[in-house]
Amino acid sequence: MIYIVGAGPGESGLLTLRGYEVLRRADVVIYDHLVGEGILAWIPETAERIFAGKFAGNHTMTQQEIQSAMIERAMSGKIVVRLKGGDPYVFGRGGEEAEAIIRAGLPFEVVPGVTSAVAVPAYAGIPVTHRDYCSGASIHTAHHCGDNTQSATKIFLMGAGNSESLQAELLAAMSPDTPCAVIQNGTTSRQITVRTTLVHLHESVVSSSITPPAVIVAGNVASLNLSWREGLPLVSKRIIITRPEGRAEKLSSMLRDLGAEVILMPTIRTSILHRSLDGLSLGGWDWAGFTSVTGVEALFTLLCEAGRDIRELGGAKIAAIGSATRDALKSHGLKVDYMPGVYDGHHMAEGLADFGGKILMFRAENGTPEIEQVFRNYGIDSTNICLYRTDYVQLSHVPEFADIIIFTSSSTVRGFAANTGSLRDAEAVCIGRQTADEALRAGFHRVRIAEQAAVEAIVKACT
């Protein structure tokens, strides 16, 4: 996979979130000399760095060598980030690199950057447009200053409602056959691109029912189609993730890789119940069970606060729901002895009941009582220690529509339902039967259950 990333004009804070996201998981980074030092500091230590800076009369690498380096490393299975100053498609030769990648038959993504043509004047206190001073702006390179009325690209914002008058003005200076493109709702799941020629511009806008917001591009470049989004399985999907803040990064990244428009909308937050271990002994149990990553992190935080450590569990075996919980335990040096094949509380309880013995469960204060009920049904001696609680988030904004809403627990559904009665036409993708049942009770008519409580399974259920 190759990512062509615009790094912006230099200030690290102007790198986009998507640019940062893909940069942090790069295996190879090929970067230009205009990339800011702060951004270079974010390149992973394990990544191969290739400097491809170009100066007047002194090119570290030719354009062909740069393209070959990208393609060769991507073909070997590496994640390649081509890091370019500004925006890769504004005098950045990103178009040439995209063409080379397409010829090689490789997948790629273009991550736009903040162009210096707008950002640098802004930092100097100069707006490139101002209704009292000008009606537009065009961008040119100083290398070619001749009259390029015919060849220069012209970009018009808010053009959908003025396409007829705009067409008449452009026809006075440009050929009727000039390629044009009209892009509605650009970069979102509802993006529509209409390609036409100048003489048919208004007709195309009307026949395609184009409405604002829309951008019109006129010029020879409008005949190009270097699309990297077409064919991605989730390109037309808007997906809402309701996981708590800080828990959705990996899932969000994987969904965006597949073309989805992702909206992070946490419906719950968790808070550690400090001093919840006071006076409690963790020893003497046959099993210690964990139902979530939050439970794992809360336990180690509380032990540290109290000057205690995990050795108090003695010889207790470890049980966990889900691969993420297992991995969290592994990061603390604990090996999981049992993980149910179906990642939910019911199957966890059934599995531990088969083993027998006394069971200590580390859980949320207001978690689902189903695990306790199953233990009681099997006559198993179990005790809960509540390490954290879950509270609903008051949503400040609810999107008008969504194709899919992802729920990773029953509490995320309840938090969603407590905030809004809308969006029930969306498909609910849920972890576990308990969460799915909660979604049905909340009024969702289309519910799909991920095969496992794992990010990969959630993504699969969305496609």
pLDDT of 404-429, one tens digit each?
999 998 899 999 999 999 999 999 99
pLDDT at 461 exceeding the cut of 80 = yes
* pLDDT reported for residue 73: 97
As a whole number of angstroms, the distance between CA 43 and CA 333 comes to: 28
pLDDT at 455 exceeding the cut of 50 = yes
Tell me the residue ranges of DSSP E strands in 90-198: 108-111, 154-157, 179-184, 192-197
Is the domain of 10 the same as that of 90?
yes
Does 126 fall in a domain? no
* pLDDT reported for residue 348: 82
Tell me the residue ranges of DSSP E strands in 24-77: 28-31, 48-51, 54-55, 58-59
| CATH number of the domain where residue 196 is located | 3.30.950.10
Is the domain of 388 the same as that of 401?
no
DSSP state of 31: E
Q: Which residue in 27, 54, 61, 327 is the catalytic one?
A: 54
Share of the chain above pLDDT 90, in %: 63
As a whole number of angstroms, the distance between CA 399 and CA 397 comes to: 7
CA angle 332, 336, 341 (to 5 degrees): 135
* pLDDT reported for residue 188: 85
Does 124 fall in a domain? no
Active site residue 32: yes
Is the domain of 318 the same as that of 385?
yes
Q: CA torsion angle for 295, 297, 302, 305 (degrees, to 10)?
A: -170
User: Per-residue pLDDT tens for 258-297?
Assistant: 999 999 999 999 999 998 999 999 999 999 999 889 999 9
Give the domain extent around 296. 270-392
Is the domain of 38 the same as that of 99?
yes
State whether the Cα torsion 10-16-21-25 is positive or negative.
Answer: negative
Assign 145 a pLDDT band (cuts: 50, 70, 90). Answer: very low
Q: Which residue in 75, 158, 381, 391 is the catalytic one?
A: 158
Beta-ladder partners of 317:
287
DSSP state of 244: P
As a whole number of angstroms, the distance between CA 216 and CA 99 comes to: 22
Does 438 fall in a domain? yes
| CATH number of the domain where residue 286 is located | 3.40.50.10090
Q: CA torsion angle for 274, 279, 284, 289 (degrees, to 10)?
A: -20
Does 140 fall in a domain? no
Q: Which amino acid is at 302?
A: L
Please state, rounded to an integer, the average pLDDT across all residues of the chain: 90
* pLDDT reported for residue 82: 97
297 CB neighbour count, 10 Å cutoff: 17
Active site residue 158: yes
Is the domain of 281 the same as that of 177?
no
Is the domain of 53 the same as that of 191?
no
Is the domain of 308 the same as that of 350?
yes
Q: Which residue in 32, 87, 344, 403 is the catalytic one?
A: 32
Active site residue 237: no
| Minimum mean pLDDT range among 27-36, 59-68, 347-356 | 347-356
Is the domain of 177 the same as that of 315?
no
* Number of domains, the chain: 4
Is the domain of 261 the same as that of 402?
yes
DSSP-derived 3-state class of residue 114? coil
As a whole number of angstroms, the distance between CA 330 and CA 420 comes to: 38
pTM for the predicted model, two decimal places: 0.81
Instruction: Spell 83-107 as b/e; 16+ CB within 10 A means b.
Output: bbbbbbbbbbbbeebbebbeebebe
Is the domain of 178 the same as that of 320?
no
End-of-domain residue from the set 168, 194, 225: 225
As a whole number of angstroms, the distance between CA 462 and CA 429 comes to: 7
